[in-house]
Every structure is written in structure tokens, then in C-alpha cells.
Amino acid sequence: MEKSLPTRNFRVVFAGSPAYAIPSLEALLALPGCSVVGVLTQKPKPRGRGNQLHASAIGVFAEAHNLLTLTPNTLRVPEAHALLTALKADVGVVVAYGKILPQAVLNLLPQGWVNAHASLLPRWRGASPIQQTIAAGDVETGVSLMQLDAGMDTGPILVQERLPVAVDETAVSLAEKLSQLSGMLIRKHLRTYLDGTLLPQPQPVTGVTLAPQLTKADGHLHFGEAALQLVRKVRAFNPWPGAVMQVGTLLLKILTATTAPGQEQPGKIVRVPTGFGVGTPQQLFIPLQVQVPGKKPMSAAEFFHGYNRLLTNDVTGPKSSPTS
């Protein structure tokens, strides 16, 4: 007959898909006073060589922890709503689920849905905050714990935690840090939110930027841009959608790159000790690790050795072979 609040057990449904979301789900599982009563994730899709079905990383994790897993095709039908309602959850936590939660679903849970978004909102609302952060050269980013509303990452903010962006940061390295940070924010702040002591604050109306879903076209390097900007794109778009440049007849994927002093016609290829460089309006763009379609990654020097025909075909003519 004591006050029930401190000992109340909250029922939580988690929604997430890639490995990025795992630390957050782990945080929930370890959170006192909370029970994960269901996990919402993308259904197994044909992937990999041979087109075999693969469950999402969260799906695999949930299976291993004997969690109830839901993989609806869509959340816009009454059947999906019924499944969620049956869980009798108090709150939902969303981390990189990969589907929009329609208003009808948001309304299903008494305490709504909480989302950990990988940027300092309202900067980089949308699907690719991590990549955009790096591509834009931001020196600082973070995770925003927020309440979902019907908009795209427009809901009120519960708490934000900042994180410096390293000068050599890649989408992979930054995602790793933000993934951990998301789990930490959930561990530290979800309970106070549920207890009603952490109040959502509306997002600022200024400073809004959008981070739309990336496409392969975003990865094409154009040498009218400064070398530094191109290097940022290489770091931001690896592994997806990948930064590529046209070399002769093939699309060369650039895995790592740097800049070097120098002035060459934009797009002009020059020989450098590490392999080759490309002229830009500011400095030279120097690929370091590259990948030919269908091939394993190799150094730019190795690429040059094997493909120098492509790189130099405008300056070398056919060799005159001695006859007789």
C-alpha cells in the first residue's frame, strides 16, 4: 500500500532493426523497473549471395534473448495495431526501426514512443543524420532523445548529449559511438521520463536541416568540389552508398582518401607516390584505398599498377613493336 510509482514495472516495446540499435535494446533489458514485452523489427529479407533470408540484427538478438518478436509488413493496418495493443505496453522505444510510425500507432501506447535520433535536433532530421554530419564537416554532433510525433523527427526533445566529431571520422566509426551513446541516454533518462520528471521541450524553430535518404547518386564525386569536401564525402558515404569516381570506363569506389597540396585542372589525373591524385579547385584529391566493381579493395598504388592503361591512355600511344 505504499506509493506505487518507484516500484512500478513499465512494459516497454522496442522497435529497431540494424546492429546500431542493439546497445539501446541491451540498455532496456538492463533497466530496473522495465520489462521488454515485445520487439518490433523489419521482417527477414532476402540478402547476401544466393538471396537467402536474413533476419535483421535486432531480430537475431531478440531471438537469442527469447523476446517476443513482431515483424509486420506494415503498421497501417488494424491487424498490426491489434498485435501491438495485445502487448499492453506502456511505452515504445524506437531506434533505427526503418519504418514510419503512423499517428494511429503512436496513439496506441499511453506514454507514447521515445526515439533516440543520431543528431542534435533540429539539425539533420531524417534518415541519414550520421552521413550528413560528416559530409557537412560538422565538428560536433550527438544523440537526441525525443518523443515521436507524426512528423519526421519533429517531436519534442527530452534530452540531448553532445559528442565531438573526430577529424578522421567515418560513418562507421561515428555510428559506433552514437549507437553506444543512444543506449546510455536510454539507460539514464527513460525512467525519469516515465516517472514524469523529465519534461519534453519543443524543438527550436531555427537551425532545422534535413538529412534525406541517401541514394547512389549522392556518392558520385564531382571534381568541381574542393578536395577536402570530397574526402568528407568519402568518409561519410562508406560503406553506403559508397563514394565513386569515373575512371575511364569503370566506376571506381573510393574507400579512403586524403588531400595533398597542389593545383591541377579539376578532374585531371596525376601520378603521386601513393598511386594517383585528381585535380580539384582546391588541392589534390588523393585516393588511398579503392575498389573496382567485382573486386576486393586494393591500395591506389596497386590499382595504378594494374590499370594504368585507363589512367594514362590519353598520353601514351601504342608501343611500336619491333618487326621481324
Interface residues with RNA (CB under 7 A) are 46-51, 213, 216, 239-242, 253, 270-273, 291-296, 298, 301-309
Minimum distance, C-beta of residue 126 to RNA, in the bound complex (Å): 13
Residue 7 or 213: which CB sits closer to RNA?
A: 213
Q: What is the smallest separation between the CB atom of 302 and RNA, expressed in angstroms?
A: 4
Q: Shortest approach of RNA to residue 303 CB, angstroms?
A: 6
44 vs 156, which CB is nearer to RNA? Answer: 44
* Pick from 35, 303, 40, 23: nearest CA to 191: 35
Burial string for 240-274 (b: 16+ CB within 10 Å, else e) reads: ebbbbbebeeebbbbbbbbbeebebebeebeebee
Task: Read off the amino acid at residue 79.
Answer: E
Instruction: Pick the closer one to RNA by CB: 66 or 215.
Output: 215
Cell numbers for 173, please give them: 566509426
Report the residue number, 123 or 253, with the smaller CB distance to RNA: 253
DSSP-derived 3-state class of residue 172: helix
What's the rounded Cα separation, in Å, for the pair 182 and 145? Answer: 8
Q: Quick one: 66 or 249, whose CB is closer to RNA?
A: 249
Scan for cell 547476401, then name that residue. Answer: 48
Minimum distance of RNA from residue 10's CB (angstroms): 32
Sequence-separated (6 or more) residues with CB below 8 Å from residue 205: 122
Write out the three cell numbers for 46: 532476402
Neighbours of 125 (CB within 10 A): 21
Instruction: Decide whether 200 or 262 has the Cβ nearer to RNA.
Output: 262
- Give the single-character DSSP code of 295: S
Q: Mutual orientation of helices 22-29 and 57-64 as an angle, nearest 10°?
A: 30
Local structure of residue 216 (DSSP, 8 states): G
For RNA, the closer CB: 207 or 239? 239
Q: Which is nearer to RNA, 3 or 319 (CB)?
A: 319
Least Cβ distance, residue 307 to RNA (angstroms): 6
Closest separation in Å from C-beta 174 to RNA = 16
Phi, psi of 76 (to 5 degrees): -100, 15
What cell does 106 get? 503512436
Bridge-based pairing of strands 140-147 and 284-291 is unpaired
Do 156 and 147 form a contact (C-beta atoms < 8 A)? yes
CB 49, min distance to RNA, A = 4
Q: Which of 25, 43, 42 is nearest to 34 (CA)?
A: 25
Decide whether 294 or 317 has the Cβ nearer to RNA.
294
Distance in Å, CB of 281 to RNA, minimum: 22
Supply the minimum distance, in Å, between the C-beta of residue 190 and RNA: 28
Please tell me the total number of residues recorded for the chain in this structure. Answer: 324
